[in-house]
Amino acid sequence: FPNQYTEQEAKKLGVVGWVKNTSQGTVTGQVQGPEEKVNQMKSWLTKVGSPSSRIDKTNFSNEKEISKLDFSDFNTRY
Per-residue pLDDT tens digits for 65-74? 999 999 999 9
Report the CATH fold assignment for 2-75.
Answer: Alpha-Beta Plaits (3.30.70)
pLDDT surpassing 60 at residue 1:
no
How do residues 28-42 score in pLDDT, each as one tens digit? 999 999 999 999 999
Band of residue 78 on the pLDDT scale cut at 50, 70, 90:
confident
Distance CA 70, CA 34 (A): 13
Band of residue 2 on the pLDDT scale cut at 50, 70, 90:
low
CA-wise closest residue to 50 among 14, 1, 15, 12 = 1
Q: For position 50, what pLDDT does the model report?
A: 86
Over range 54-65, report the average pLDDT: 92
